[in-house]
Chain A
Amino acid sequence: EVHLVESGGGLVQPGGSLRLSCAASGFSFSDHYMDWVRQAAGKGLEWVGRIKNKANSYTTEYAASVKDRFSISRDDSKSSLYLHMNSLKTDDTAVYYCAGVTKDFSLADWGQGTLVTVSS
């Protein structure tokens, strides 16, 4: 069974940094692209970014709203995904989900999410 568990969320001041982690199990993590998606309270889903697999050079893609502030990395030896967040803004306050990308490129497996609150 696929299992994705996010961690690392919490309260951070505007301008601060935070690193989220996503621990994966139950599937061949290294073969799969992985995404981050976020959701502000009472709002819809917003795609944050993607990291491809080694065969595709670990290429990353980002939403314009986070590009140059956030970066995604992965450690296939640990089946772990990371979201490095810098220069955080109050608008970044949201639940952050990691998601596994299927061969069809839809998002079939999701973690439970971790809450990031950016506030002074």
Chain B
Amino acid sequence: DIQMTQSPSTLSASVGDRVTITCRASQSLSTWLAWYQQKPGKAPKLLIYKASSLQSGVPARFSGSGSETEFTLTISSLQSDDFATYYCQQYTSYPLTFGGGTKVEIK
């Protein structure tokens, strides 16, 4: 199985900060990686697919980059609505696997 390692597990930031979350895969994914945002008690929401493609309706302050085994999710200017937990997911091979999550908290 492909292991997905996210860092950091928790991140404290202020509104307006630039935030970067890293996801590392144990094997090459090419660019078959997605990022999701989840708020408490809610279903996950797709933000980025194919490593860097912005899902329709997602604000442009979110961006993704990377390939093979190293990927990043960047929020260019953190907004109050962005405090949530973020997950990466590989979909290059079964079983599909998620990273452990990064909780973005208010500093």
Contacts and interface: CB of A to CB of B under 8 A. Distances in A.
B32 A46 contact: no
Contact of B87 (A44, A97, A105, A112): A44
- Chain B contact surface mostly: loop
B43 A47 contact: no
Interface residues of B, number: 25
Given A110-B43, A110-B44, A102 B98 contact: no
Contacts of A108: 46, 49, 55
Interface string B80-102: 00000001010100111111110
B34 interface: yes
Contacts of A104: 49-50, 53
A105 B32 CA distance: 9
Contacts of B95: 47, 61-64
Contacts, number: 57
Interface in A32-50: 35, 37, 44-47, 50
User: Considering residues A46, A47, A63, which has the most beta carbons from chain B within 10 angstroms of its beta carbon?
Assistant: A47
Contact of B43 (A62, A63, A106, A113): A113
Nearest to A107: B46
Nearest to A97: B43
Contact of A44 (B43, B45, B101): B101
Contacts of A112: 42-43
